[in-house]
Chains A and B, each alone.
Chain A
């Protein structure tokens, strides 16, 4: 699915990276825990998150993610947008909740990066 289609489904506002809306995503990841994003994501993944700090952009950069959608209307500061621009990482914002935004993408065929993670044994 192209980012442009994601934007239409989630009624996003594009904060930067309008020129990259033809990028294709295969999987998505909904997380506020960047540690987990670094472990479980694959390339060609879209990140949905409620965190708006600079580490979200860094995580997307090192992890080769295709873009970031901020959920629940959370707007990152200008320094975050500037860094994303410099690193060609598209940023979008939706007013939907994490659950609904992920659910809509799942309805349209986007799947998670990992199907299952083996349970931790204490």
Chain B
């Protein structure tokens, strides 16, 4: 996983109403050793700019579920995060194989994860529904053979 900072970020993590912190993380398929590192960094920044703990927790959980999904199921992808004063906007895009039946994939308990993923404590079919639960706005589109796009927006109260 690599990360790039872009956009307007003054580095001292004090935000005014026009600022945005933009982050981009590249997620490698099957790279479980760094799975969660992006979420960890997002959470740290949210804490530093004073986002409420419960909100930062929801954002970090949603981001972690997304990271794990890309690492488990896809051929790799990236996560773009925009932290604004009033909300966090997360877009995740991966490369293949895509999801044939998105409605089915959104059902709790439905999973196509192999046994070695389940042995790690994941792949229980809770990831997508939990991302939706953590988000104020959630959308998913997927095309078989191309990839999956997910967007999560979480408002900062």
| Interface, chain A (partner B; CB < 8 A) | 31-39, 43, 49, 51, 53-56, 58-59, 61-64, 87, 120
Given A55-B121, A62-B63, A63-B60, 12 more contacts at CB 8 Å? A35-B122, A36-B126, A38-B65, A39-B126, A39-B133, A43-B54, A54-B33, A58-B35, A61-B43, A62-B39, A120-B108, A120-B109
Residue of A nearest to B126 (CB): A35
B9 located at the interface, meaning its Cβ lies under 8 Å from any Cβ of chain A in the complex: no
Residues of B within 8 A of A56 (CB): 121
- Chain B, range 83-119, C-beta contacts under 8 Å to A: 108-109
Within 8 Å CB of B43, what residues of A? 61-62
CB distance from A53 to the nearest CB of B (A): 6
B127 contacts across to A, CB distance below 8 A = 35
Known contacts A43-B53, A55-B36; A35/B64 CB under 8 A = no
* Interface size range on B against A: 20 to 34
Least CB distance, A81 to chain B, in whole angstroms: 15
Which chain A residue has the least Cβ–Cβ distance from B64?
A: A62
Q: Is the interface of A mostly helix, strand, loop or mixed?
A: helix
> For B123, what are the chain A residues with a Cβ–Cβ distance below 8 Å?
35
Given contacts A39-B133, A54-B32, A61 and B40 within 8 Å (CB-CB): yes
Q: Specify which of A31, A34, A36, A37 is in contact with B120 (CB 8 Å cutoff).
A: A34
Query: Do the beta carbons of B126 and A64 come within 8 Å of each other?
Result: no
CB < 8 Å neighbour of B61 from A32, A33, A63, A87? A63
Report the Cα distance A72→B39, complex, angstroms: 30
Find chain A residues with CB under 8 A from B61 CB. 38, 62-63
Sorted nearest first, the 7 A-B pairs with minimum C-beta distance are: A58-B36, A34-B121, A35-B126, A35-B124, A62-B60, A62-B64, A51-B121
Nearest-CB residue, chain A, relative to B57: A64
15 contacts between A and B (CB under 8 A): A31-B121, A35-B121, A35-B124, A35-B125, A35-B126, A35-B127, A38-B126, A55-B68, A55-B120, A58-B35, A58-B36, A61-B60, A62-B36, A62-B63, A63-B60
